[in-house]
Structure formats: structure tokens, C-alpha cells
Chains A and B, each alone.
Chain A
Amino acid sequence: MHNYLSAGFIAYLTRDLLLGVRNKTDLVKPLIFFLLVSALVPLSIAPEAERLAQLAPGMIWIFAVLATLLSVERLFSDDLQDGSLEQMLMSPNLLIMPILGKITAHWVMIGLPLTLLSPVLGVWFSLPTVAVTPMMLSLAIGTAVLCLIGAVGAALTLPRQGGVLLALLVMPLYMPVLIFGSATIQSAVDGLDWTAPLVILVALLAIAIALCPLAINAGLRLAKNG
């Protein structure tokens, strides 16, 4: 199945992963941020296990949102600076596969490590062990949606390099993911069926995969000209 479409996907996926591996500090920063903000919670609220456990589902998701928001800014700006974005935009076609490749690489470098790191937060916040698997699943799927939506904002704010404007654009669009993500963990904590909100997250992911690349493609072409 080495057709032209999947080749574009794989080429950009491996390229971005390689770049990420060679520039490890950029990869670690959002993770340290994720842990650091989490450490602020017991300090600013209370170190009691009971209260922390109550806040945990929401807190973990808010921090995941902030960590992805911080990192998604870089998704296209480096490529814009070194000229490789212009190379990519030389193609007259819709750049859906290259864009998906880049976002997948971004998720592997940000979303996946966050997911793998989240059990640490679960321990810190005394999250019940039954909720750990739902938490990791919801983070794995949810951060993928966040990367896709965030990439739309990153493409549109490319001339200004993201910043606060990026946050203003994408935060409202993050709300459904936040709601269903924390609901997945909360349902598991309450002993309810947690697959229902998780399945909605999967549905959001399907919509985002289908529609976000179109908006990103249009946004990148604008940024090149504007």
C-alpha cells in the first residue's frame, strides 16, 4: 500500500519525529510543565488526599489542555522560519496527508508522553486505581483531538506566532473535549459506565480528523501569502 497519499503521510511523520528526537529539550518542556502545574495544586489548595481525589479528574484534564496548548504553537512556526513550510505549500493539492502526518508526529511527541505520565498524577492526586485506565484512554484520544484543533489555531495565527491569541481562538473549541475527557475519569471514579463519554471522544476525534486538515490547509496557505 505504498501509494502517493500514504507516502506523504509517512514522510512528514518520520521527518517530524526525527526533528523531535534531535531536539529533545523541546519535547520535555511540556511534560515538565504538566508535572510542575500539578505540583502547585496541593500547595495552593490542600494536601489532603480526599479533596485532591475529588479535584483530580478535572485538574488532570485542565493541565493536559494547557500543556498541549503550549506546545502546539511550535507545530508550524519552525517550518515557516526555515522555509520548509513553503516547500510543502508548493504542492497544488490539498495537503491533508502531510498535515495529518505532522499532527500525528506531534501527538506521538506530546499527547502520548502526557498519557504515559498521567499515572504519576493519579498517584499524586490519590486517584482510585480503577480510574487509571479510563484516564489514560481518555487522555490518549482526547489529546489527539486537542492537537488537531490546536493545529487549526496554530495555522491561523502563524503570522503572529500564536501566543495569547492562539489560546483565545482554540480554548472555546476545546470545551467539548474537556467535558467528555474529565467525565470519563469522573464516571470511573463514581463506579459508572465510563465507556459512553469515551466513545463520544472517539466521535469527536473522527470529526476532527475529517474536518481540521481542511481548515489547516486553508490557514497555512493564507499565512504564506499574508
Chain B
Amino acid sequence: MNLNMQWTWFHRLGSPRWFYQKTQRWLPWLSLLTLSLLITGIVWGLAFAPEDAKQGNSFRIIYVHVPASVVALAGYYIMAIAGAVGLIWRIKLSYMLMRSAAPIGAALTFIALVTGAIWGKPTWGAYWVWDARITSMLILLFLYLGVMALRHAYSSHEAADKASAILGLVGMVNVPIIYKSVDWWQTLHQPATIKFTGAPSMHPDMFLPLVVMIVGFYAFYAVTLMLFTRAEILRREYRASWVKQLVSEKLVEK
């Protein structure tokens, strides 16, 4: 009995309906927080942070590039862990989260690559340099695309979810190996490229807006993940009575 009591919250957490209703209440506040964080970070970073001694104003793209890369990488783990939770506890909702996380992560990876290329032009004199981090991000993009493409190989939702979850786990084991090996490969071939100043050695005036932007991007990620997952819930649960009721209420409103 006691054991049952302890696990009810866990099962409620896995209910798509519960998630849909809760996020309805959370979303306005979280969106407001995201917007204020992003606006603060962007204005602070672009207008008030001091110029970089070597790179001038061009370094300011860091306030988009670094948060996008950080969240894109974390997003792969969020996706893989959501898939693992789905595999282990057979929770429908976590599969829906996993599915929603893939396109968001891919988009962020793409943003990181494009902003990196734009940043590369003034710093390295070329849009594309086979730098370790850029190469790793490119591979990450392919990993995301693989997870997205695998869905279409299966006719049933259930099998597609499990297959994507397995692939996500395989990728999760591989991501650190890929990162380390690309890093090693980089030191072998290009020992003299410009090393970006690591975060702790940045001046606080430059670093703080970056922190705000990273937190803002995480919040943005949470908002988009919720929105995507809500759409996914409606798409998959359209037969459920609560979804039908929701739709008929919307129709009456109109």
C-alpha cells in the first residue's frame, strides 16, 4: 500500500493529460521568464559588454553561438535520457518528449554551426575551418538527423519510439568518444589555431551576460520542448476522451 502511494506521483508524471494541463499553467510564466532573460542578455551582451581586445565587436556573436552549442549538446543527453526512461519504465510521455527534443536539438545545432561560420570569417578569415568543436558539432547534427530519420523506418509509433531510444542511447555512449577523438585529431593536425578564451578567464563584464544568455537558452529550450510535446500529445492521443472534449470546447468558443 505504502509502496503504491509512493509511486502514484511517478505514474501521474507519466500521464500525457497531466503534463498537458500542468504545462498550460506553467507556460505563460516560463515564457515570460525566457523572454526577459533573452532580452536582458542580448541587450547587455550586444550594447553594454566591453569590446574584445583582439576581435573587436565581432566577438559579440558569442552571446548566441555559445548558448546554442551548450544547449544543443545538453539537448542530446536530455533526448537520450528521455528515451531511456521510456524504455525502462514504458512511459508514453517520455517518448513524446524524446521525439520533440530531436528537431529542437537539431535546430540549435544548426544555429551553432551557422553562427560559428559567421564568427569564423572575421577571426580565422574563412567561413569554415575544421576546428575540433565545429567538427564535433557537425557530427552532432548528423546524430540528431539520424534519430529523426529513423522514425520513418517504422510503421508503428511504439516500435519507432523504442528504436529511436536505442539509437539515442548508442549515441549517448558515443558522443564523449567522438568529442575526445576529434579533439585528439585536432591537436594532431592543427596545433596553432586560435584558442578561444575559456569561460573562467573571460572578464566578468563579458562573462555575466553570457551566463544570462545560457540560462535564457535553457529556458527557451524548456518552453519549446513543452510546446512541441503538447502538440505531440494531441497528435497521438486524439482518440482519448479528454482530447475530444478539449477540441469540442475550442469549437464552441469559436
Min CB–CB distance B210 → chain A (angstroms): 28
Q: A152-B170, A226-B155 are in contact. Are A219 and B149 (CB under 8 A)?
A: no
Q: A168-B149, A169-B150, A226-B156 are in contact. Are A179 and B184 (CB under 8 A)?
A: yes
Contact with B170, one of A215, A223, A225 (Cβ below 8 angstroms): A215
Q: A179-B182, A218-B166, A222-B162 are in contact. Are A172 and B139 (CB under 8 A)?
A: yes
Q: A175-B181, A176-B178, A226-B155 are in contact. Are A168 and B142 (CB under 8 A)?
A: yes
In the bound complex, CA of A169 to CA of B149 (Å): 8
Min CB–CB distance A162 → chain B (angstroms): 9
Residues of A within 8 A of B251 (CB): none
**Residue in chain B with minimal CB distance to A161:** B153
Q: A157-B153, A168-B149, A169-B167 are in contact. Are A175 and B139 (CB under 8 A)?
A: yes
Complex contact B185–A179 (CB within 8 A): yes
Q: A183-B185, A183-B188, A222-B163 are in contact. Are A211 and B173 (CB under 8 A)?
A: yes
Q: Interface residues of A toward B: which range?
A: 20 to 34
Complex contact B181–A168 (CB within 8 A): no
Min CB–CB distance A207 → chain B (angstroms): 8
In the bound complex, CA of A204 to CA of B163 (Å): 23
Residues of A within 8 A of B150 (CB): 156-157, 165, 169
Binary contact readout A193-226 vs B (1 if CB under 8 angstroms, 0 otherwise): 0000000100010010001000100110011011
Complex contact B163–A219 (CB within 8 A): yes
Complex contact B178–A172 (CB within 8 A): yes
Q: Determine if A51 is an interface residue (Cβ-Cβ < 8 Å).
A: no
Residues of B within 8 A of A222 (CB): 154, 159, 162-163, 166
In the bound complex, CA of A211 to CA of B166 (Å): 12
In the bound complex, CA of A186 to CA of B19 (Å): 54
Question: Within A151-169, which residues are at the interface with B (CB < 8 Å)?
Answer: 152, 156-157, 159-160, 165, 168-169
Complex contact B177–A176 (CB within 8 A): yes
Residues of A within 8 A of B185 (CB): 179, 183
Min CB–CB distance B142 → chain A (angstroms): 4
Q: Determine if A12 is an interface residue (Cβ-Cβ < 8 Å).
A: no
Contact with A172, one of B146, B163, B184 (Cβ below 8 angstroms): B146
Complex contact B155–A168 (CB within 8 A): no
Residues of A within 8 A of B145 (CB): 168
Min CB–CB distance B173 → chain A (angstroms): 6
**Residue in chain A with minimal CB distance to B156:** A226
Contact with A156, one of B156, B167, B178 (Cβ below 8 angstroms): B167
Residues of B within 8 A of A223 (CB): 159
In the bound complex, CA of A204 to CA of B176 (Å): 12
Min CB–CB distance A86 → chain B (angstroms): 16
Q: Determine if A180 is an interface residue (Cβ-Cβ < 8 Å).
A: yes
Residues of B within 8 A of A225 (CB): 159
Residues of B within 8 A of A112 (CB): none
Known: A156-B153, A171-B142, A179-B181. 17 other contacts (CB 8 A): A156-B150, A156-B163, A159-B153, A169-B149, A172-B178, A173-B170, A175-B178, A176-B174, A179-B184, A179-B185, A207-B177, A211-B170, A215-B166, A215-B169, A222-B163, A226-B155, A226-B159
Q: Which residues of A contact B (CB under 8 A)?
A: 152, 156-157, 159-160, 165, 168-169, 171-173, 175-176, 179-180, 183, 200, 204, 207, 211, 215, 218-219, 222-223, 225-226
- Provide 28 A-B residue pairs closer than 8 Å at the C-beta atoms, listed in order of the A residue: A156-B166, A159-B153, A159-B154, A159-B159, A168-B146, A169-B149, A169-B167, A172-B139, A172-B146, A172-B174, A172-B178, A173-B170, A173-B178, A175-B139, A176-B174, A176-B181, A179-B181, A179-B184, A179-B185, A180-B181, A183-B185, A200-B181, A207-B173, A211-B170, A218-B166, A222-B163, A226-B158, A226-B163
Q: Which 7 A-B pairs have the closest CB atoms?
A: A226-B159, A176-B181, A160-B153, A172-B142, A169-B146, A179-B185, A226-B154
